[in-house]
C-alpha cells in the first residue's frame, strides 16, 4: 500500500476522531509528518522521546501508526505521575516508559539522544509548579526561568538537526493589561466565573462589576485565564485545573526562548480549539475584540 500524505490524512481522520475537540490532535498530526520526513531523510529508524507523556495519547498513538518507521527500543515516554504512566504502559505496551522528573538533569543525561522530542501540554505544568506560599500566587520570574531550563533539558536530548514539537497554552497577543468588557450569557455562567475568580490559584483574578448585572470589566490577561478554564468549571477536573496556568509565554517569548536554546523555528502556529464553546458562555462587548488564540504549536530544529 502506498502510504502517501493522502493515506495518512485519511488514517488520522479516522484514528483521531476521539481527539476531535482536543488541541493536541494538531501535535499528533505535526509529529506524524515529522516522523515520516525524518525516516525518509535519515534512512534509519526514528528515535522519539516525549517528556510529560501522561497516558501516552500522543506518543503512543504515534508509534501505533509508525511502528515500522521507529526504533521501538528507543521510543520513550517520561512522566512522574505513576498512575498515568501505568495506564500508558497498559494501552501502549510497545512504548518504553520511565517514571521520573524531566527537569532532573541526571535523568535527562541518562535518556540519551533522539531525532524527535515532544513537549505536549507539559511545560505549563513546570510553570505552574512555582506557586509561592508567600505571594499566594505564581512567582512569575522563577517560574519562567524553570520553563526555560526544562526547554533547555529537552533540547539536550536532541541530536544536532533533531526536531522539537511543542504544543501548549499561550499568553494573549496585545497588551495583556488592556481592559475588556464582557457579558455572561446566563446566571449559571456568572456563578461559575465567581468560583473561578475566587479559586484559581496561579494568579489573583481582579475584575470590576459594571452597572448591568452579569457585565464586567476585566484585563485581557485575566479574561484569557478565565476563558481557557471555563470548560472545566463545575466539573471534577476543576480541582486540578484550578492549580495550573496554561499561559506562561507570549509568542514573542516563545520565539526568544527558542532562539536562546539554539532552536530554529520552522513552523509556528497559534490556534484556538474551544471558541464555539466559549461563545455559549460569554459575549465580548468591547468593539474590535475577539476571543484569544489559546494554544501554540511550534516545530523547531536544533541548530
Ligand X SMILES: C[S@@+](CC[C@H](N)C(=O)[O-])C[C@H]1O[C@@H](n2cnc3c(N)ncnc32)[C@H](O)[C@@H]1O
Interface with ligand X (CB under 6 A): 24, 52-54, 57-58, 78-81, 84, 101-103, 120-122, 125-126
Question: What b/e string do you get for 44-56 counting C-beta neighbours within 10 Å, with b at 16 or more?
Answer: ebbbbbbbbbbbb
* Orientation angle between helical segments 59-66 and 24-42, nearest 10 degrees: 40
Please say whether the beta carbons of 207 and 216 come within 8 A.
yes
What is the smallest separation between the CB atom of 81 and ligand X, expressed in angstroms? 4
What is the smallest separation between the CB atom of 104 and ligand X, expressed in angstroms? 8
Please say whether the beta carbons of 18 and 55 come within 8 A.
no
Please say whether the beta carbons of 32 and 64 come within 8 A.
no
Nearer to ligand X, 59 or 69 (CB): 59
Please say whether the beta carbons of 130 and 142 come within 8 A.
yes
Nearer to ligand X, 112 or 213 (CB): 112
What is the smallest separation between the CB atom of 82 and ligand X, expressed in angstroms? 9
What is the smallest separation between the CB atom of 119 and ligand X, expressed in angstroms? 8
Q: Report the alpha-carbon distance of residue 171 to residue 68 in Å, rounded.
A: 38
Nearer to ligand X, 53 or 155 (CB): 53
DSSP string, 200-234: --SS----EE-SSTTEEEEEHHHHHHHHHHGGGTT
Nearer to ligand X, 97 or 257 (CB): 97
Nearer to ligand X, 101 or 113 (CB): 101
What is the smallest separation between the CB atom of 40 and ligand X, expressed in angstroms? 26
Amino acid at each position: 500500500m502506498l502510504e502517501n500524505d493522502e493515506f495518512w490524512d485519511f488514517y488520522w481522520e479516522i484514528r483521531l476522531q476521539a481527539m476531535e475537540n482536543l488541541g493536541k490532535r494538531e501535535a499528533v498530526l505535526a509529529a506524524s509528518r515529522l516522523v515520516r520526513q525524518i525516516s525518509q531523510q535519515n534512512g534509519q529508524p526514528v528515535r522519539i522521546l516525549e517528556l510529560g507523556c501522561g497516558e501516552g495519547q500522543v506518543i503512543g498513538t504515534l508509534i501505533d501508526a509508525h511502528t515500522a518507521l521507529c526504533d521501538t527500543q528507543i521510543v520513550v515516554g517520561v512522566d512522574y505521575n505513576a498512575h498515568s504512566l501505568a495506564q500508558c504502559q497498559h494501552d501502549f505496551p510497545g512504548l518504553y516508559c520511565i517514571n521520573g522528573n524531566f527537569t532532573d538533569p541526571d535523568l535527562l543525561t541518562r535518556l540519551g539522544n533522539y531525532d524527535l522530542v515532544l513537549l505536549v501540554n507539559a511545560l505549563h505544568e513546570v510553570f505552574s509548579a512555582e506557586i509561592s506560599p508567600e505571594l499566594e500566587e505564581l512567582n512569575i520570574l522563577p517560574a519562567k526561568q524553570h520553563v526555560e531550563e526544562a526547554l533547555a533539558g529537552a533540547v539536550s536530548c536532541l541530536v544536532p538537526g533533531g526536531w522539537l514539537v511543542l504544543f501548549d497554552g499561550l499568553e494573549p497577543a496585545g497588551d495583556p493589561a488592556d481592559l475588556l468588557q464582557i457579558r455572561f450569557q446566563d446566571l449559571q455562567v456568572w456563578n461559575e466565573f465567581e468560583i473561578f475568580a475566587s479559586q484559581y490559584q496561579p494568579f489573583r483574578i481582579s475584575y470590576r462589576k459594571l452597572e448591568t448585572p452579569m457585565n464586567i470589566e476585566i484585563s485581557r490577561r485575566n479574561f484569557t485565564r478565565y476563558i481557557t478554564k471555563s470548560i472545566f468549571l463545575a466539573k471534577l477536573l476543576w480541582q486540578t485545573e484550578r492549580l495550573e496556568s496554561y499561559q506562561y509565554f507570549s509568542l514573542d517569548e516563545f520565539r526568544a526562548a527558542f532562539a536562546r536554546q539554539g532552536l530554529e523555528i520552522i513552523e509556528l502556529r497559534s490556534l484556538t480549539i474551544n471558541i464555539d464553546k466559549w461563545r455559549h458562555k460569554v459575549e465580548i462587548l468591547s468593539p474590535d475584540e475577539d476571543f484569544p488564540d489559546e494554544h501554540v504549536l511550534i516545530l523547531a530544529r536544533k541548530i
